[in-house]
Structure 1
Amino acid sequence: MFRHAIVFLFFPDEFEPIISNSGKRKIVSRLHEGERVNPSDAVAVDRALLKIRARLEEKYPGGEHHFYLSPFKEHWQVPKPPGPRYTTNGGTIREVDSDQYQPDPLRYLPTHAQQDLFIPPTHFNRLLTSLERRKNLILQGPPGTGKTFIAHRIAWCLIGHKDNDPIEMVQFHQSYAYEDFVEGFRPTDDGGFTLKPGVFHRFCERARANPEVPHVFIIDEINRGNLSRIFGELLMLIEHDKRSEDYAVALTYSDTRFHVPANVHILGMMNTADRSLALVDYALRRRFAFETLEPAYESDHGRNAFTDYLTSHGADPALPRRICDRMGTLNKMIRDDRELGRGFEVGHSYFVPDDGDEPSEDWYRHIVDTQIVPLLREYWFDSLEIVEEAVDGLTADA
């Protein structure tokens, strides 16, 4: 902070009156055009800010401008849209409640999504293309690889805006049934029963009313449910080449003819570390494209993106490198274990700071103690000496 204040006092035409490292980095990450700027290189960040200011002053000539005041701030301080709101239906279903949501009118493109992700642009574009072409996509991977985070960004890119209204999210489990999903009889206040559409039926009707807008139905823990029992006769209709009235079928209870609209896309998520799950049903394999997400520590691109992200939030550049090295060693132990394997690795999402967090060694150790160690005790519940060895590696002095 002291450096930023001094250089501005002596060179006000070449440096910004901004003392926040993270603020400068965020402006550059949003507005810089050209080759990537290393966020830990303070000189490069200041040079990039100078170029950004020159470009914006051409657009807004006259007067003194500040990055934290209009009209500059609107270019980089993108208001965070409210995330999906969840409600409970009988204690089993989590649905997006978007009645209070006002969509961001700005276009949302893969380049915007990439600012928040640790996977290469080519990988993200492949995920998006798979969902567009096949209509049905499953993201599978170990815990903490950002499946839910990426799923919403895929959906926003497909829709073209940060708009949660055309998105619905549910979580499957072993008791989830056709009556929850498609239609079924529900008790009424007078002691009787009435036929009500399920969450997917209602979602399809919303999509049918807006055929020009892509709609994305997100299913968490998709492999925990019995797909044949949940989808019933709709299992065939979700196939990408059967999205028309020509393939409409009569529903089990109402006997009305129904088909899945062409603008409905189904995006499932699957945790590969869930021991309670059997092999994925063939019916699921045949109707969905599958894409695997891995921890960021496993690739050069992921490590670099993870390092840049943490340093942009105020971390010392050495911290993310230590995290990558330590977690890389842990994941090798997990991969080499015959009872575990690659599907049980520990992802990077555990170490993505929340708003207000200041990434530090103490912050890292708190996450290890409260989130990673309990997971390892579950993995090696009958081999505590392996847990101790793993924890020693995670907490070794830098």
Structure 2
Amino acid sequence: MSTANQTSKPLEQYIHLLQEKKNIILQGAPGTGKTYTTASLAVRLGNPDFFELEDHTKVMEEYERLRTNGQIAFCTFHQSMDYEDFVEGLKPELQGEHITYKVDDGIFKQICEQARSAEGKDIIACIDNYLQKIRGKENQREIPSITGKAKLQVWWEEGNKTLSIRSTLSKKDYAPARPSIEKIKAHAIGKGGENNWSAYARAFIKAVKEEYQIEDDTSSTPHVLIIDEINRGNISRIFGELITLLEADKRAGSKTHPITVTLPYSKDSFSVPSNLYIIGTMNTTDRSTGSIDYAVRRRFAFITLKTDPEVIKTCIKDDAVRAKALALFKQINGDGTDDKASFIATHQAGDFDLEDLKVGHSYFIAETQEALQLKMCYEVIPLLREYIKDGILQGKEEDEKYFAAWAKGECLNTEPAEATADSEA
């Protein structure tokens, strides 16, 4: 079996798991290839006809194409991130001499809207068709406000770039609200919004969806949200009430338990489309943040990526450099799970699994001996020093001897010196 087939087989298993579960987290020690695996998964899911997963350059080119097309979105969780950043929140905006607040969509809400309206019934075409129905004041329609507590009159004067909207309770003969049609369309596909008349714009979009029965119509085109360092954020706080909607059977279009909620700021009806997939990554050695709670865990499947010397064998073409890299890898990480003589195994501390402590294979991939030496000196050794400092590894007297040898790109000779002929006599 070729290396390509060996590599693609687990990837296809991950794709199948992602399609069933909708949400997965790739976990592992630093350098185990989580970022690249995430990109490959997103590309393979977003474009089922893409098969050149062994070509890093082509994978990243396709990744960028899908990202530009709106099928892939990327964000990194951090300790100060919250619901208002991720889903939606009120943002101040200066209007002349006054400060107003508008609802600002976060990355999660944006990609949900993009996934929902990517294909199927074209919301843009439906808006254009609806405009023709309300052309002229004499053809005005009465639609509910976004909260449903009031009624709005809406019409369009041909040639105008704005709608005309007013409350039925208004005594004015003209329309005080004139949201931009272009911005309404952008909002409908999750690529912008009407800032000045946001509530009116959302009410109009809702009316169009109800007119053409596309409120719950979702696309089948896969969309992927990548959340890097997912464990560094307070997931329950960031997702809020939407954490329940992540489950496969709670998604829009599900035949079992589809759930729709009303968002607190915009008052929009909201559901998570079934064609949105979430891929998170987390370092198993990162204990600086809180652990992921059970409510979150049961909504994600966890895939552990292990340190693999076979990747080094495949990626390094130069025989001499490959031999050096594999020797260093073996001395630091060991040769298999039963090797107890490696640096990591003899320095293991605390409650960490041995696999979590190993230095990832990407740290050993270099084209030249000089590049390998630089990686050892400025990446591997500082990482191990940090582990020792944090108590993840136990420090020992001979550590500096190891570090001095590795900084030169060499293994430390740990074999006892052979007895000389004189000493044997």
| Equivalent of residue 388 in structure 1, options 390, 394, 400 | 400
The aligned counterpart of 1:280 is: 292
- What is the Cα deviation at residue 159 of structure 1? 1.2
The aligned counterpart of 1:178 is: 83
TM-score in terms of structure 1 length: 0.63
For 2:383 and 2:45, how far apart are their aligned partners in 1? 34
- Percent of aligned positions that are identical: 38
- What is the Cα deviation at residue 321 of structure 1? 3.0
Residue 323 in 1 paired to residue 328 in 2? Answer: yes
Residue 156 in 1 paired to residue 43 in 2? Answer: yes
- What is the Cα deviation at residue 197 of structure 1? 0.9
The aligned counterpart of 2:344 is: 334
Q: 5 Å matches for 1:344-363? A: 344-353=357-366, 358-360=367-369, 362-363=370-371
1:324 counterpart letter in structure 2:
F
| Equivalent of residue 213 in structure 1, options 217, 221, 225 | 221
- Matched residue SS, 1:217: strand
Residue 131 in 1 paired to residue 21 in 2? Answer: no
For 1:36 and 1:236, how far apart are their aligned partners in 2? 42
Equivalent residues of 1:222, 1:268 under 8 A apart: yes
For 1:285 and 1:389, how far apart are their aligned partners in 2? 42
- What is the Cα deviation at residue 345 of structure 1? 1.7
- What is the Cα deviation at residue 217 of structure 1? 0.3
- The 1:131/1:315 distance shift into structure 2, 3 A limit, reads farther
1:359 counterpart letter in structure 2:
T
2:46 counterpart letter in structure 1:
I
For 2:263 and 2:10, how far apart are their aligned partners in 1? 38
- The 1:176/1:207 distance shift into structure 2, 3 A limit, reads same
The aligned counterpart of 2:417 is: none
- What is the Cα deviation at residue 326 of structure 1? 2.8
5+ long unaligned stretches in structure 1: 1-34, 38-110, 298-302
- What is the Cα deviation at residue 149 of structure 1? 0.6
1:328 counterpart letter in structure 2:
N
Structure of higher RCO (CA pairs closer than 8 Å, 6+ residues apart): 2
- What is the Cα deviation at residue 320 of structure 1? 3.7
The aligned counterpart of 1:78 is: none
For 2:91 and 2:38, how far apart are their aligned partners in 1? 31
For 1:321 and 1:255, how far apart are their aligned partners in 2? 58
- What is the Cα deviation at residue 179 of structure 1? 0.3
Residue 365 in 1 paired to residue 373 in 2? Answer: yes
1:277 counterpart letter in structure 2:
T
Equivalent residues of 2:31, 2:359 under 8 A apart: yes
Note the aligned Cα RMSD (angstroms): 2.5
For 2:282 and 2:398, how far apart are their aligned partners in 1? 27
In the TM superposition, structure 1's runs of 4+ consecutive aligned residues that sit over 6 Å from their partners are none
- The 1:195/1:314 distance shift into structure 2, 3 A limit, reads farther
Aligned residues: 273
- What is the Cα deviation at residue 317 of structure 1? 4.5
Equivalent residues of 1:380, 1:386 under 8 A apart: no
- What is the Cα deviation at residue 314 of structure 1? 7.3
- Matched residue SS, 1:189: strand
- Matched residue SS, 1:291: strand
- Matched residue SS, 1:233: helix
- The 1:385/1:309 distance shift into structure 2, 3 A limit, reads same
2:344 counterpart letter in structure 1:
I
TM-score in terms of structure 2 length: 0.59
For 1:278 and 1:335, how far apart are their aligned partners in 2? 26
The aligned counterpart of 1:93 is: none
Equivalent residues of 1:307, 1:320 under 8 A apart: no
- Residues 130-172 of structure 1, C-alpha deviations (whole Å, 9 max, x = no match): 1111000000000001101100101111112423331111000
Equivalent residues of 2:402, 2:412 under 8 A apart: no
